[in-house]
């Protein structure tokens, strides 16, 4: 009986608390993903989709260079090679600002904020780039995870 008590006490002491308290994140996107094409520009028909826990897997939220739609967790802006915003706003803020149907030329990059409150999968595709996926998982004590994603050219029919 006494041995059981001491073994239990030792187990409890061995599992002490985490010495680092969690970082208070406040308000901010869970992920910021910078998307560019490994071979140059992203064409006008580029589509970015996000799949996440609370989202409908059959109807993911998407950002399109050639259309303006309302957004809830995916907010994107066009950027140049240096990462500077070139359209003056983030698409999806009320479904009004940012990129939309007036984009006629290919773009150098897209930066997207994802407010998914957990893990997500980002999907990018265009007529020049087959569907490519990026799995995103929150990291402990990292409020906003920054990620670069370069899509590769290929047979977009696969």
Residue 116 lies in a domain: yes
Number of domains, the chain: 1
The predicted-structure confidence for 73-129, as pLDDT tens digits, reads as follows: 999 999 998 999 986 445 544 333 344 444 557 899 999 999 999 999 999 999 999
Residue 113 lies in a domain: yes
Residue 15 lies in a domain: no
Mean pLDDT of the chain: 80
Range of the domain at 47: 39-151
Pairing of strands 145-151, 132-136: unpaired
Residue 102 lies in a domain: yes
Residue 144 lies in a domain: yes
The predicted-structure confidence for 31-88, as pLDDT tens digits, reads as follows: 999 999 998 899 999 999 999 998 888 999 999 987 788 889 999 999 998 999 986 4
Predicted TM-score (pTM) of the model is 0.74
Residue 26 lies in a domain: no
Q: What is the full DSSP assignment across 74-124? A: EEEEEE-TTS-BSSSS-BTSTTTSSS-TT--S-BSEEEEEE--SS-EEEEE
**How many other C-beta atoms are found inside a 10 Å radius of the C-beta of residue 130?**
16
């Amino acid at each position: 009986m006494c041995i059981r008590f001491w073994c239990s006490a030792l187990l409890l002491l061995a599992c002490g608390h985490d010495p680092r308290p969690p970082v208070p994140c406040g308000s901010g996107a869970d992920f910021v993903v910078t998307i560019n094409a490994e071979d140059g520009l992203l064409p006008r028909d580029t589509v970015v989709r996000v799949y996440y826990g609370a989202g409908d897997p059959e109807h993911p939220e998407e950002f399109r260079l050639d259309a303006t739609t309302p957004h809830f967790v995916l907010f994107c802006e066009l950027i140049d090679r240096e990462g500077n915003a070139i359209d003056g706003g983030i698409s999806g803020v009320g479904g009004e600002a940012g990129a939309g149907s007036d984009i006629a030329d290919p773009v150098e990059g897209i930066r997207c904020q994802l407010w998914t409150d957990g893990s997500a999968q980002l999907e990018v595709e265009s007529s020049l780039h087959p569907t490519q996926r990026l799995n995103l998982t929150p990291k402990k004590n990292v409020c906003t995870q920054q990620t670069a994603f370069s899509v590769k050219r290929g047979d977009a029919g696969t």
